[in-house]
Amino acid sequence: MNFEYAERINRLPPYLFAEMEKIQKEKKAQGVDLISLSIGDPDLPPPDFVVEALVKETSDLKNHNYSFSQGEPIFREAISNWYKNRFNVDVEHDQVIALLGSKEGIANVARAFVNPGDKVLVPDPAYPVYANGSAILCDGIAVPMPLLEDNNFQPNLDVIKPDNVRMMFLNYPNNPTAATIDKNFLRQVIDFAKDNKIIICYDNAYSEITYDNYRAPSILEIPGADEVAIEFNSLSKTFNMTGDRIAFAVGNKHLVTGLTKIKSQIDSGPPVYTQKVAVAALNTYKNCEQPEFLHKNNKILQERRDLLVNTLTKLGYTCKTPKATFYVWVNCKGDSMKFAAKLLDVGVAVTPGVGFGKHGEGYVRITFTQPKERIQEACNRITNAL
Ligand code: PLP
């Protein structure tokens, strides 16, 4: 029997990454040696101490009961210590909630605060979950904020019409443009949000994947941010734990409480053992310094980044050397679908920018989550193809 989908499902565009996976599976089934530079899933493993902690914590039978909807107190305390250690920001434990991945939190926060017809400002291009998982699935209206190269891929706050806007999503270090942000802009965002009573959902999932001594700020470093903002962060990219589904949100108490109310009706918190592993991981930050593991991890990523950027630059394409994330956002001088298709023909999968929104057209996103040799091979193929 074919049941009709709810209307809101019909309003959803296809999920870009699921489509990409499908195409790649088909290519592989045809025997193509495909190099996937399209999906932001680290190829590098979690650090040894994380794997050891996972074995230990899963073996402890006490760790297999339900957790709390807001997360284990020990995890929330570790998050609060991490904010102090990493950003010099003081957060109380009731300003913290554990998440089953930041994607889940980003989707659920709208359920707590967006009414049908409310406007939700979403960057364009952007991680698709803001518009789809969050705004559309809450019957809200996703209003794109163009991220243009001329404006350093930042939204122009001066042209935003704030009427009926309930929420704004922002994400720096940014996926897909790899742009970073300075605190000056974040100050303007907080002022704008306070003036117009807008909730700021700040996605900081890539705060730890940084290069060339760049340190990504937390929006909570800005005075007054805790009046209007909730920030999402995750162990997915920081500790190469995408499949473990462990993340958190921190910020305005009322926003955290709203999200907790939603989550208490639909899940029971991440597994206790995962939260305990996350505690061990976050506690490796000492004296505001990233742990050795991250230095090594980011150094490996940086070498790959340089390889890609040098190749593309030599070929005459413009792309900024990213200071953060594992993405290169390349101006492909034309139709991004055609460009991606051309590379797919030589067995290199990249993501057409238009898949991230109308203003992503003219760009492709290339991910460097493959070993250096594979990136080198991809660079050779790209050079031949172009
Ligand atoms: N935010 C951004 C910008 C992302 O690119 C991703 C994943 O690719 C996420 C959030 C989701 O991360 P998580 O694994 O914590 O759900």
pLDDT digits (tens, 9 = 90+) for 123-182: 999 999 999 999 999 999 999 999 999 999 999 999 999 999 999 999 999 999 999 999
Query: Tokens standing for 62?
Result: 């006490």
Residues 56 and 39 occupy one common structural domain:
no
Name residue 137's amino acid: L
The confidence band for 24, taking pLDDT boundaries of 50, 70 and 90, is confident
* pLDDT at residue 44, as a whole number: 97
Residue ranges lining ligand 1, Cβ < 6 Å: 40, 101-103, 127, 171, 175, 203, 205, 234, 236, 242, 247
Alpha helices, DSSP H, located in 92-135: 102-113
Question: Do 157 and 22 fall into the same domain?
Answer: no
Are 64 and 129 part of one and the same domain? Answer: yes
Residue 276 amino acid letter: K
pLDDT (mean) for 342-350: 94
Which ligand 1 atom minimizes the distance to the CA of 245?
Answer: 14
Say how many domains are in the chain: 2
Q: What is the model's pLDDT at position 68?
A: 95
Same domain, 105 and 189: yes
Between CA 251 and CA 202 the distance in angstroms is: 10
Mark 135-144 as b/e (b = at least 16 C-beta within 10 Å): bbbbebbbbb
In the reported structure, the alpha carbon of residue 203 is separated from the centroid of ligand 1 by a whole-number distance in angstroms of: 8
> Whose alpha carbon is nearest atom 8 of ligand 1?
40
Of 282, 300, 321, which marks where a domain is finished?
282
Cβ within 8 Å of residue 378, ≥6 positions away:
35, 37, 348, 370
Q: What is the pLDDT of residue 33?
A: 92
Q: Which domain holds residue 221?
A: 48-282
Residue with tokens 């907790």: 260
Same domain, 314 and 197: no
Tens digit of each residue's pLDDT (9 = 90 or more) over 80-101? 999 999 999 999 999 999 999 9
21-51 burial code (b ≥16 CB/10 A, e <16): eeebeebeeeeeebbbbbebebeeebbeebe
CA 1 to ligand 1 centroid distance, Å: 35
Which residue, of 282, 314, 341, is where some domain finishes? Answer: 282
Atom of ligand 1 nearest to the CA of 99: 15
For 181-233, write each residue's pLDDT tens digit: 999 999 999 999 999 999 999 999 999 999 999 999 999 999 999 999 999 99
Which domain-ending residue is among 238, 255, 282? 282
Measure 251 CA to ligand 1 centroid, in angstroms: 18
Looking at residue 114, the DSSP 8-state letter turns out to be: P
pLDDT for residue 52 is more than 90:
yes
The partner residues of 171 in beta bridges, in order of sequence, read 203
Strand partners, 167: 120, 199
